Every structure is written in structure tokens, then in C-alpha cells.
Amino acid sequence: MSFEPTRNDLFTFGLWTVGNPGRDPFGHPVREAQDPCRIAAKLGEIGAYGVNLHDEDLVPFGSSAVERDRIVSDFKKAMEDAGIVCPMATTNLFSQPIFKDGAFTANDPRVRAYAIQKTMAAMDLGVELGAKTYVFWGGREGTESDACRDPREALKRFRGALDFLTGYCEDQGYDLRFALEAKPNEPRGDIYLSTTGHMLHFISTLAKPERVGVNPEVAHETMAGLSFVHGVAQAMECGKLFHIDLNGQRIGRYDQDLRFGSEDLKQAFLLVRLLEGTAGGARYEGPRHFDAHAYRTEDDEGVWEFARGCMRTYNILRERAKAFDADPDVQEILAMNTDADLVDFRAGYSKDRGAELRAMDFDAAAIAIKGLRYERLDQIMTEHMMGVR
Ligand code: GLT
Ligand code: MN
Ligand code: MN
């Protein structure tokens, strides 16, 4: 079986991912900055579907309008030649010193206004390149010392910015959906709206909630010690999984952004199974974005090895998940669970249904004594993952 990626797999990479020069808080870059047009060409070559970017990944901060237009038209041509698209764009609201206290939530109103203005321009750029999803990662929207502002005020500022920007999109007639990306910490001590769950509630308080969903990232939810699969499932169940950032991460570390599947293979397997719907349920139809970068030990060749590895692992896991769900032993165990309730709870309470339930008789001890065979189920899953079934 071939695990070669095709455009139909919808695999995407950010300019900042395969273009990552390997800088870290302790060391200088180990790889040269890459020309975005070359990245587009390479991505086309290895079978990716698209390339995502921050405004500044493509158009260097401080470029003139003329330079900007030239860079954008060269990049469009490069994408076209490579046969790839730009499905997602975002704003860099974290690198420039002006954002040291955050962007939309900063205490200085000039910083907040500048951040929203920068985002409007970055949205124009994204739309010009064909983006349909706009990501908001509040990298510096947080604190080290919470005495600096009331966190409730921060939420009001964040909401104000998003409401203003959905309004801007409508006014411009942009076909753009927003995807909010949570992270618990780093680069700030604590970042507001730290998990996908926090984001999902926050969205319900916005002026145009229908335009806004989430962009969960494996590393970020794992940093918080949470089940990524559960967070993604909740987003899918309420129709809010607009985008996804795939990578690898170990609990309790800095944001590692490792090659997809290189850590916690079991979570990666269960994630692909969920996204692909091999166990039933709706499939996720959006781009599979790898927000990851190559180890700092790598040269240019290692970078493209890393990118191919992300896609190949995803495709292998998809085949493994299909095989697992088609396995008669798995089906037999899963058939012991049934979706059908004894009383139709999902239809809500009624006097009749209440009475129906009251009349039921349960032998709690007899129910509890039955083994559920999850050990067997998990072992079979492990064997599928290891490729021996
Ligand atoms: C940054 C961050 C990522 C976000 C990107 C989008 S920027 O690299 O670590 O998780 O998805 O702003
Ligand atoms: Mn991310
Ligand atoms: Mn990350």
C-alpha cells in the first residue's frame, strides 16, 4: 500500500513551520531563512495541498506598499506553479516589541488599536491569497503578574476585537471563518482562554458566533495535560472544528511542535481515527495542518524529511484506524455498547418518560459484575498500531 500524500489528503504546512530556522531561547538559528516561493515549490513537490502564513512570514515587517504587492504577486505565481493553495492565514501579533504586553488585550489602547489595524491588513492579504480560514492565536495575550489588569477586562477587550473584526469581514464581503487557537502558557506565564474548552464557551458570547470556531493544537492541549482527542471531539460535536494544528508533544514540556506522531502514538492514532470517522460519525473535512518543525539538528534535507514524515505517519495511521474498525474482534466488543437509551432522554423530560424510568428495576450488582473487555480492546488496538494485525 502506498502512503504517498495526494492533494486530496488536504495536508498543509505553515511558512513558519518548514521555514523554521531552528532558533530557540538558548541558541541562534541553525538553518538559513528560506524564500517563501521556494517553500511553495517544495511543498507542491512533496504532495502537500497548501501553505499557510502569518502576514510577516511573507511580507517582512515594515515593507512598503509597492514591495508588498510585488512579493504577493510573486508568491501567488509560485503557488500556482506548485499546484498548491493558501487555505489559512493569520496575523503575527507576538514578534514585534510593541506586543510585549499582548495585542488585543494590552493595557495601552494604542497597542490594541494597532493590533486590530494590523489584523485588518493581514486579513486583506489572506483573502487576496485565497484563504478561507483565519486563525487567532493569542500568543502574548496573557500575563506574568495578574495584578496588571482584571482578567475579566482582558476578555472584554478580546471579545471587542473579534466582534469588530467579524464586522469588518462582513462589511468587506469576505468569505472567511475565524478559528481560535488556545494555549495554556508560553511565551506568557499564563495565556488567557487557555484551552479549546475555554474557547468554545467564549465563542458563544461573541456577536457573530456562527463565523467563529476553533483551531486546536495537539501540543497546546497536551501541555495542559488534557486529552486532545476529547477536546477535538467536543469541537466536532458542536460544529466548531474549523481547522486543526497537528504535531507531537510530551506532557509537562515547553511547546515542542514535533513531527506529527513522533510522541504519544496512541493519541495520534485515536485522533486520526476520530478525524477520519473510521469508527462512524462525521469526518472532519478541513485541512490537516502540521504546525510543527524539524529538530534543530537538521539541515535542509532533514526539514523535508520531517515534512514527508508528518504526512506519511498520518496516512499510515488512517489505514491502521480503518483496519482496526473493520476488525471483527473489535466490532464484537464495541457491539456490546449501544447508543439506544432505555428511556429516550435526548427527547427531554416528560411526565410519561419520568414515570417509565421510575418503574424500571435495576440489579446494580449484576450489572456491575460484568467485565467490559477494554483490556482486550486496547491490546488489539496496540497490535493494529504496531502493524501485526
Ligand atoms: C506560532 C504558534 C502556533 C500558532 C501559529 C499561528 S504561530 O508558531 O506556536 O501554535 O498556530 O499564529
Ligand atoms: Mn498552532
Ligand atoms: Mn505549538
What pLDDT shows up at residue 338?
A: 76
CB–CB of 296/27 below 8 Å? yes
How would residue 12 be classed by pLDDT, with cut points 50, 70 and 90? very high
323 lies in some domain: no
Ligand 1 pocket test: pick from 181, 191, 253, 255 the residue with the most ligand atoms within 8 Å of its Cβ: 181
CA–CA distance, 138 with 158 (Å, rounded to integer): 9
Question: Is there a single domain that holds both residue 90 and residue 155?
Answer: yes
Give the confidence band of 23 by pLDDT, cuts at 50, 70, 90: very high
Q: Report pLDDT for 314.
A: 98
pLDDT of residue 197: 98
User: Same domain, yes or no, for 242 and 344?
Assistant: no
The per-residue pLDDT for 228 is: 98
Give the mean pLDDT of 305-330: 98
In a domain, 197, yes or no: yes
Sheet with 288-290, side-by-side order of all strands: 212-214, 177-181, 133-137, 88-90, 50-54, 11-14, 288-290, 245-246
Write down the mean pLDDT value for the chain.
97
Strand partners, 241: 214
Is the C-beta atom of 217 inside 6 A of ligand 1? yes
User: Do residues 55 and 118 touch, judged by C-beta distance below 8 A?
Assistant: yes
Residues 52-82 pLDDT 10s: 999 999 999 999 999 999 999 999 999 999 9
- Rounded to an integer, what distance in angstroms lies between the CA atom of residue 170 and that of residue 118? 18
Q: 275 CA distance to ligand 3 centroid (A)?
A: 19
* CB-ligand 1 contact for 291 (6 Å cutoff): yes
Question: Among the three residues 257, 282, 317, which one is the final residue of a domain in this structure?
Answer: 317
26 and 63 together in one domain: yes
The residue from 298, 317, 336 where one domain ends is 317
Say whether both 36 and 128 belong to one domain. yes
- Assess whether pLDDT exceeds 90 at residue 351: yes
64 belongs to a structural domain? yes
- Structural domain count of the chain: 2
pLDDT of residue 339: 73
Tell the residue nearest (CA) to atom 8 of ligand 1. Answer: 16
The pLDDT, as a whole number, for residue 59 is: 98
64 and 210 belong to one structural domain: yes
Residue whose CB lies within 8 A of the most ligand 1 atoms, among 93, 245, 291, for a mutation test:
291
Does one domain contain both 346 and 207? no
Best residue among 15, 16, 54, 178 to mutate for probing ligand 1's pocket (most ligand atoms within 8 Å of CB) is 16
16 lines ligand 1 (CB under 6 A): yes
CATH number at residue 238: 3.20.20.150
**Domain ends where: 317, 343, 364?**
317
Q: Ligand 3 mean position to 217 CA, how many Å?
A: 7
CB-ligand 1 contact for 20 (6 Å cutoff)? no
How close is the Cα of 381 to the center of ligand 2, in Å? 28
Q: Is the CB of 56 under 6 A from ligand 1?
A: no
* Enclosing domain of residue 374: 328-385
Q: Give the model confidence (pLDDT) of 100-158 as tens digits.
A: 999 999 999 999 999 999 999 999 999 999 999 999 999 899 999 999 999 999 999 99
Q: Average pLDDT for residues 85-98, to the nearest whole number?
A: 98
Q: How far apart are CA 219 and CA 193, in angstroms?
A: 16
Nearest alpha carbon to residue 323 among 261, 385, 260: 385
Take atom 6 of ligand 1 and give the residue whose Cα is closest.
137
| Ligand lying nearest the CA atom of residue 249 | 3
Whether residue 236 is found in the same domain as residue 376: no
Atom of ligand 1 nearest to the CA of 220: 10
Give the pLDDT band of residue 173 (cuts 50, 70, 90): very high
Sorting pLDDT into bands at 50, 70 and 90, what band is 182? very high
1: in domain? no
- Alpha-carbon span 184 to 143, nearest angstrom: 11
* Mean local confidence (pLDDT), 321-334: 97
Which atom of ligand 1 is least distant from the CA of 16?
8
365 part of a folded domain? yes
Write down the pLDDT at residue 336: 86
Whether residue 305 is found in the same domain as residue 341: no
Residue 2 lies in a domain: no
Model pLDDT for residues 202-261, shown as the tens digit of each residue: 999 999 999 999 999 999 999 999 999 999 999 999 999 999 999 999 999 999 999 999
Same domain (yes/no): 237, 355: no
Q: Is residue 209 part of a domain?
A: yes
* Whether the model pTM is above 0.85: yes
Residue 378 confidence (pLDDT) = 98
Q: Check whether residue 185 and residue 310 sit in a common domain.
A: yes
Residue indicated by cell numbers 488489539: 380
221 and 306 assigned to the same domain = yes
Q: Are strands 142-143 and 190-191 parallel, antiparallel or unpaired?
A: antiparallel
Note whether residue 322 is domain-resident.
no
Could you tell me the distance, in angstroms and rounded to a whole number, from the CA of residue 190 to the centre of ligand 1? 16
Cα-to-centroid distance, 203 and ligand 1 (Å):
20
Cite the active site residues.
54, 57
Atom 5 in ligand 1: residue holding the nearest Cα: 137
Instruction: Let me know whether 149 and 197 are in one domain.
Output: yes
Q: What share of the chain is helix, strand, coil (3-state, %, to 5)?
A: 50, 10, 40
State the closest ligand 1 atom to the C-alpha of 255, by its place in the atom list counted from 1. Answer: 9
Q: Which residue has the higher pLDDT, 293 or 336?
A: 293
